[in-house]
Amino acid sequence: MPAIPIVSPLRKKISLYSDIRKDLDINPITKDLAVKRDEEAVKESIKTLILTDRGERLFQPRLGGDIRKTLFENNTPATLKVLQEAIKDTINNHEPRANLIDVEVSSTYDDNKVVVNIVFYVRNLETPVNLTVFLERIR
């Protein structure tokens, strides 16, 4: 029978980062707003940054990646490289909690989708985090 780990103040996992969930869900136990913690909070933040266009947020005109305009360009390797660099710049400039390792951008020509795979470290945590975002034209 495996030993049950004892949770003490020294072994308890302490959340370093937390963000309010976008859907404003309520925690059923505390009746407060539910939050995402650590990796999930940073993942949600990166996804939001990528999907936000510059000038879209009031009082923060430089926030965002301006990625959507690239989706309507011709689907070439050069366009994918521009998209990859724009995503790298957005994460490095606007998300200080993430240490970026790699961004891979690939395209499915038949479905008009771009698949973005982002690998990063959350600061002060030792395991890499993988985030996959699907971008597609909706017009």
Asked if residue 111 has pLDDT above 90, the reply is: no
Name every residue whose Cβ is closer than 8 Å to that of residue 115 and which is 6 or more positions away in sequence.
105, 106, 107, 108, 132, 133, 134, 135
Mean pLDDT of 58-78: 82
Query: How far lies 105's CA from each of 21, 77, 84, in Å?
Result: 27, 10, 6
116 located within any domain: yes
Looking at residue 89, which CATH number applies to its domain? 3.10.450.40
pLDDT band at 136 (very low <50, low <70, confident <90, very high): confident
- In this prediction, residues 104-112 reach a mean pLDDT of 81
In total, how many domains does the chain have?
1
Q: Which domain holds residue 102?
A: 18-136
* Residue 2 included in any domain: no
Inform me whether the pLDDT recorded for 7 exceeds 50.
Answer: no
Judged against a pLDDT cut of 90, whether residue 119 lies above it is answered with yes
- Do the domain assignments include residue 42? yes
pTM above 0.85, yes or no: no
In a domain, residue 5? The reply is no
Specify if 30 maps to a domain.
yes
